[in-house]
Amino acid sequence: MSQENVEMVRRAYEAFNRGDRDAAVADLAADCEYVASGAIPGATGIYSGPGGFKRFTEWLLDEFNDARVEINETIDAGDQVVVSVTSRGSGKHSGVETSWVTWQVWTFRAGKAVRGEGFRSRGAALEAAGLSE
């Protein structure tokens, strides 16, 4: 099942990048919670359900032209997937191309993501998943 979880994460980012936000959240459980890392100004706290996660990603679409999120690395950790992503886009007001790297840990049960959590570093994400460097 763990490779299927990695594929679900990949499908979600691919869907987001092609603008299909419904497909991007299709594998989230109705009661899924996403805990933001605080790395993004104004995007903190816990976002509940697929709709909550869509609200979390709205800032990216609101602030950047051609916003996209590219996967750098995935780590299969059984019922969890650790993923490093680079978010990028050009500012709608400045036109400046910006990018930054964040980490997430997604937890899966019964074929659905039940929890996601953002992190500012690889070490923190690995620790949260019970892994070490």
What is the distance between the alpha carbons of residues 126 and 122, in angstroms, rounded to a whole number?
6
For the chain, strand residue ranges (E) read: 28-35, 46-48, 64-77, 80-91, 97-109, 112-119
- The residues facing 47 across adjacent strands are 34
Output the pLDDT for position 38.
79
Query: Which residue bears the tokens 């990695």?
Result: 6
Average pLDDT value for residue range 41-64 = 88
The domain locations on the chain are 2-128
CA-wise closest residue to 60 among 26, 22, 100, 28: 100
- Whether residue 1 is predicted with pLDDT greater than 60 in this model: the reply is no
In this prediction the pTM is: 0.92
Q: Is the pLDDT of residue 112 over 80?
A: yes
Single out the residue of 47, 49, 76 nearest to residue 59, CA to CA. Answer: 47
Average pLDDT estimate for 73-102? 94
CA distance 87 to 60: 9
Indicate the CATH number for domain 2-128: 3.10.450.50
Per-residue confidence at 41, pLDDT binned at 50, 70, 90? low
Residue 112 near residue 39 (C-beta atoms within 8 A): no
What is the per-residue pLDDT for 43? 75
